[in-house]
Structure 1
Amino acid sequence: MKIPLHHSVIFLATDAEELGLYGAKAFVDTPVVPLDKIRLNMNLDMLGIGDRRNRLYIGGDIDGVISEAIAAIETTASFQVVGRFPRQPRGFGSARRINYRNASDHGVFARHGIDFLFFTTGDHAYYHTEGDRFEQLNLALFGQATEAIWSLLKHIDGSNLRVQK
């Protein structure tokens, strides 16, 4: 039996994130619904390769409801859900530190007062290189991550989440 979600969900695929978050900016500049009706932005970014720890990182506005849901989706020893932004590895690509609160499309939504959750399996050796190809994907990790995010979305949807504005 399929149970529908209680809230509407917009699936938005953006482009040109690396060039200046142009896709996310275009959406908030001409939204399909008023921005004050958007309760939460769930940004899925770099879910396919991960690091040797097989972790799904969830950063952002994590309150008690979301922390409870995160605990509920930790399902196997080979896959760990971590309620924080990933730590940038030493010597990773640049001496510049990544500010994960603004480093992806969710930063655009946050600047418009929309709470967010940022999902990633972490940085990897192919990040922003020509080696970042389909063949590098860890399909098992990708599947586990997307199932965990779906589980979290259903939990949040059914929780009467009260987002502070």
Structure 2
Amino acid sequence: MQFTPKILVLPLLAFALASCAPTDTGPSREAQALTDLRALSADEMEGRLVGSEGNARARAYIVERLGEMGVEAVFENYEQSFTFQRSLDFRDPDAERETITAINLVGRIAGTNPGEHVMVVGAHYDHVGMDEDGNIFNGADDNASGTAGLLAVAAAFMENPPENDVIIVAFDAEEGGLRGARHYVANMPEGYESVGFMLNMDMLAYSETDDLYAVGTWHYPVLLDLVTAAAEVSPVNLRTGYDEPSDDPRNDWTMLSDHGPFHAAGIPFLYLGVEDHEHYHQISDTYENMTLAFFGGAVETAVDVARRADAMLDLIARSPSRQPEAVEK
């Protein structure tokens, strides 16, 4: 996640949807998610800064995991590459600039009865790298955790296929501009341009209160029943909030992670993530400092939310935004 929000809590509505309760969770998924979280946040990954060797090592790990599962590559070796300009000194806007190559990873899981729309499930795998003294910003919560959640959702859908086609995207270059998501929305793979819903995961691994936020229901009220039903069975406290327009933009996460460009294109979204905390963008954002029991529950919840969204994808895609004038049609 890019910025530090303040706390704003909106209550859950007190009704439930009799829908698809989670049926495919278990110790093996939790164990694999923990393995992925540890691997992606290891010192070897050097903070996964876009364009770095550590970022490339993280990308290779994700590619290997997708291949092991049998997720179909949409592009060669899953890679959707793009370039952008970055200042050599972020403190000086007039400094010399360099060209950086970033790489999204894009896979497809075929649906059993695909309709007009596809669902995109995404998380960014990059982070901020190292400082001038060589300290590593491991980014366990931000966002090795969301990437591990993404892999868990992919594994669940490979084990029990979705009804609709699901596109799995590990975004690069989220930090500092949501560049990977912006590039993807502007350059969607041929044949998969009709996106009915986007689920984004960014920061799933640290909460002292067991609170996980599902952001987006204010903009897309059709999603409130889905979230309320998921909250009834979630092992963590699944809450809504952080999406209503506010005088303080840090109280509104609508555009603060990779779901933002999808929303701007008029695509309904949910964003799963935690509130700001003491380890956010600090060298203490390490595997050892995460609340791992919460993380396991957050991953289970993400899988459940993805399944529920797949089951009602056509309805979600046809439902209007509360602020249609705020999105680009």
Fold agreement, TM-score > 0.5? yes
Does the 8 A contact of 2:234 with 2:301 survive in 1?
no
Report the structure, 1 or 2, having the larger helix content: 2
Q: For 1:113, which of 250, 263, 266 is the aligned residue? A: 266
Q: Distance between the aligned counterparts of 1:130 and 1:150, measured in 2?
A: 29
1:25 CA displacement: 1.4
Q: Distance between the aligned counterparts of 2:239 and 2:252, measured in 1?
A: 18
1:143 CA displacement: 1.2
> What's the counterpart of residue 4 of structure 2?
none
Query: 1:162 aligned to 2:319?
Result: no
Q: Distance between the aligned counterparts of 2:233 and 2:187, measured in 1?
A: 41
> What's the counterpart of residue 42 of structure 1?
199
Which structure would you say has the larger Rg? 2
Does the 8 A contact of 2:205 with 2:295 survive in 1?
yes
Q: For 2:211, which of 51, 55, 59 is the aligned residue? A: 55
Q: 1:4 to 1:84 in 2, by over 3 A?
A: same
Determine helix, strand or coil for the equivalent of 1:41: strand
1:75 CA displacement: 5.2
Q: 1:150 to 1:18 in 2, by over 3 A?
A: same
Instruction: Give the RMSD, CA atoms, in angstroms.
Output: 2.8
1:20 CA displacement: 0.8
1:106 CA displacement: 0.7
Q: 1:112 to 1:76 in 2, by over 3 A?
A: closer
Does the 8 A contact of 2:198 with 2:267 survive in 1?
yes
Unaligned runs of 5+ in 2: 1-23, 25-158, 321-329
* TM-score normalised by L of structure 2: 0.42
Q: Distance between the aligned counterparts of 1:3 and 1:130, measured in 2?
A: 38
> What's the counterpart of residue 283 of structure 2?
130
Q: 1:76 to 1:157 in 2, by over 3 A?
A: closer
Does the 8 A contact of 1:46 with 1:120 survive in 2?
yes
Determine helix, strand or coil for the equivalent of 1:19: coil
1:38 CA displacement: 0.5
Tell me which amino acid in the other structure corresponds to 1:63: P
Q: 1:34 to 1:97 in 2, by over 3 A?
A: same
More moved, 151-160 vs 37-46: 151-160
Determine helix, strand or coil for the equivalent of 2:231: coil
Determine helix, strand or coil for the equivalent of 1:6: coil
Q: Distance between the aligned counterparts of 1:71 and 1:98, measured in 2?
A: 21
1:58 CA displacement: 0.2
Report the structure, 1 or 2, having the larger strand content: 2
> What's the counterpart of residue 16 of structure 1?
173
* TM-score normalised by L of structure 1: 0.80
Query: 1:4 aligned to 2:161?
Result: yes
Residue by residue over 1:99-126, the C-alpha shift from the partner in whole angstroms, topping out at 9 and shown as x without a partner, is 3111111111111111111100221111
Tell me which amino acid in the other structure corresponds to 1:106: H
Unaligned runs of 5+ in 1: 87-94
Does the 8 A contact of 1:28 with 1:35 survive in 2?
no
Q: Distance between the aligned counterparts of 1:59 and 1:102, measured in 2?
A: 11
Residue by residue over 1:11-59, the C-alpha shift from the partner in whole angstroms, topping out at 9 and shown as x without a partner, is 1111221211111112122211467511111110011112x22111001
Tell me which amino acid in the other structure corresponds to 2:221: D
Tell me which amino acid in the other structure corresponds to 1:55: D
Identity %: 29
Does the 8 A contact of 1:58 with 1:83 survive in 2?
yes
Does the 8 A contact of 2:200 with 2:259 survive in 1?
yes
